[in-house]
Chains A and B, each alone.
Chain A
């Protein structure tokens, strides 16, 4: 299929570009900022699998992210585990969380589901605050190991890892979107009762989408403690992650895998620039304003606007 080969080439090229950049790019700060943008690509893509494709709005993305991060912390402190193991463990734990909220959809729809995700987020945060092993409210310092010589610094290694994760996440989202799973999820989003009555296995699909979404968010969070060298609950569970994970797909376009990528790159880069040059409040204000504007004026996001201008042709 032409679409698939094009995508695969693009994906491979992105990874190679990332690896090259780790040798070539000028300042450490570039990696510091670029890492955040890549992280948001993963988060936004993950959110969109459940939110955009299936229509279940998760407000607790921050908790999945933070649980992934704290799982990594536990593994580092208890077993001195390598990064790969941290990623796998984080995916496992948050995947289970995702499964749990998927099960919640049996009884809760719409805003009730969303409020329940906030509830789970706060409960997770409270548990972490009460866990002295991971530092509680006080936080904990995590020292970076020395990087393999090729990378020059551990931050660059993490940047490359996050680039790879971003490509994997987007590939996964694309697969879900174009397969029968995606069709089923779209049916659920449009009218769940009708889908059920026609024989769509709604519960299985929702569980799948929620688990994958959760696991990806956790994986986005796992390298965070190493990246910051320090982690504490207030910033890890910050509502900013929840809003960004939601705003980026909405701004980019929720119907396709490309939307969250566009949203994450645009909004993420804008945020990094504004934080450096102006202030971090303005950064949050911009996210809020853009979200409201797009939701009101361009509900299909940037992709939708482009489609209107260029003419239809599904993005595959």
Chain B
């Protein structure tokens, strides 16, 4: 049947009426937040837990009616912990999925490659545990959620511990990758200022799986301190090498920036091999870290985590990823807008209350009040994850504001 002129006119009129009717009414399509996260690969131990926290946040927000009256939807891809995957994924999120908001991948290494792209497109990006990712690019719409402000500040408490133990010779072992190098460089800068001497300084390719030779070389130099900056697979391999080859009797302090020693799966598998190691963390179940709301959040998270089969403790990524959601929600609700410029301005200018405390951002998009801690593993036994739920296994030894114990020399704790 050929559409007559009359039917055409009627259809057009109807369409016009409908659009008129729609115009002032609210858009009911979901707000889409896009991200990639490590669901497989070495970073997945934390990645999966962070995703669970974000999903928890999404459910909470939607139960309260959503943002701006619209439901929130997460568009998630698995970046396999690989920096090679993220540029393609984020281009897809921006150009194909056309998401409204963006959250960065978990961790420094997968985040670094997308910074130029994000800056070029001038988009808002919520960072997720990336160290110094914005230091050179200086994008004004990047806000990293991690309780440290720069590599130098991150390394400072560890240097303080070196001083306390009367160290002179330092060995540095760092992966040749974004995070480890950023942190190690912060440490190396501090070395000079404190007058320590570096007797061994090696960068290894990220794919290295055997550290026996390096452990031998380190031992031969008889250092007082061994500073390590590594990612989960290498962290595990290095701790195992310490167990097999030994690092020598001279070492008083071992550890520093080893990612992975916060993941429940690795804590469980390494067990007593961790004793004496001093390493960074963001939260430990110690008296000094009882921020308002954190215990309740962890209880809710832990209940869900058990079902989902992810990190049962949740001390590392989850509270901070939940906080990312909270910050986005506050910005969107306060400005009633999804415009990235407007949101960035709000986040930069306001202090936001979250489950990890009040967050205020500095000029490079990092926390203006860093809060990273160093813990020492003590009295850890094998194959027992629950021991980490109570205080005493991860004693906070630095900075002084959160200290719950004095640092002990490495050899002493391992006896």
Contacts and interface: CB of A to CB of B under 8 A. Distances in A.
Interface in B159-189: 175-178, 181
B83 A276 contact: no
B190 interface: no
Interface string B203-220: 101110000000000000
Interface residues of A, number: 23
Contact of B115 (A27, A141, A234): A141
Contacts of A4: none
B95 A29 contact: yes
B92 interface: yes
Nearest to B116: A229
Contact of A139 (B88, B112, B137): B112
Given A136-B176, A137-B177, A138-B176, A144 B84 contact: no
A22 B348 CA distance: 37
Given A29-B92, A275-B88, A139 B205 contact: no
Nearest to B181: A138
B91 A29 contact: yes
B10 interface: no
Contacts of A275: 88
Interface string A126-150: 0001000000111101111000000
Contacts, number: 69
Contacts of B96: 27, 29, 276
Among A138, A141, A143, A238, the one with the most B-chain Cβ atoms within 10 Å of its Cβ is: A138
A235 B79 CA distance: 14
Nearest to B180: A138
B260 interface: no
A28 interface: yes
B84 A235 contact: yes
Nearest to A229: B116
B116 A143 contact: yes
Among B84, B117, B206, the one with the most A-chain Cβ atoms within 10 Å of its Cβ is: B84
B92 A141 contact: no
A229 B88 CA distance: 11
Contact of A141 (B112, B175, B181, B205): B112
B95 A32 contact: yes
B87 interface: yes
B116 to A, nearest CB: 4
Chain A interface secondary structure, helix, strand, loop or mixed?
Answer: helix
B176 A141 contact: no
A275 B85 CA distance: 11
Nearest to A232: B83
Contacts of A144: 116, 120
Given A137-B177, A141-B136, A230-B113, A28 B87 contact: no
A129 B120 contact: no
A139 B87 contact: no
A229 B117 contact: yes
A284 to B, nearest CB: 13
B116 A230 contact: yes
Interface string B72-110: 000000000011110110011011100000000000000
Nearest to A275: B88
Contacts of B82: 234
A138 B117 contact: no
B178 A138 contact: yes
A82 B375 CA distance: 50
Contacts of B181: 138
A32 B91 contact: yes
Contacts of B176: 129, 136-138
Nearest to A236: B84
A141 B119 CA distance: 12
A137 B92 contact: no
Contacts of A129: 176, 205
B138 to A, nearest CB: 11
Interface in B298-331: none
B84 A141 contact: no
A28 B95 CA distance: 6
A185 to B, nearest CB: 35
Given A139-B113, A141-B115, A28 B203 contact: no
Given A129-B176, A141-B137, A144-B120, A280 B95 contact: no
A234 B86 CA distance: 14
Nearest to B86: A230
A282 interface: no
Interface in A230-278: 230, 232, 234-235, 238, 275-276
Contacts of B88: 32, 275
9 contacts: A29-B92, A137-B203, A138-B177, A138-B181, A139-B113, A139-B178, A229-B116, A235-B84, A276-B92
Interface of A: 27-29, 32, 129, 136-139, 141-144, 228-230, 232, 234-235, 238, 275-276, 280
Given A32-B95, A234-B83, A235-B84, 15 more contacts: A27-B96, A29-B95, A137-B176, A137-B205, A138-B177, A139-B83, A139-B112, A141-B137, A143-B116, A230-B87, A230-B113, A232-B113, A234-B82, A238-B84, A276-B96
Closest 10 pairs (CB-CB, A-B): A229-B116, A235-B84, A137-B176, A29-B95, A230-B113, A28-B95, A27-B95, A141-B116, A137-B205, A29-B96
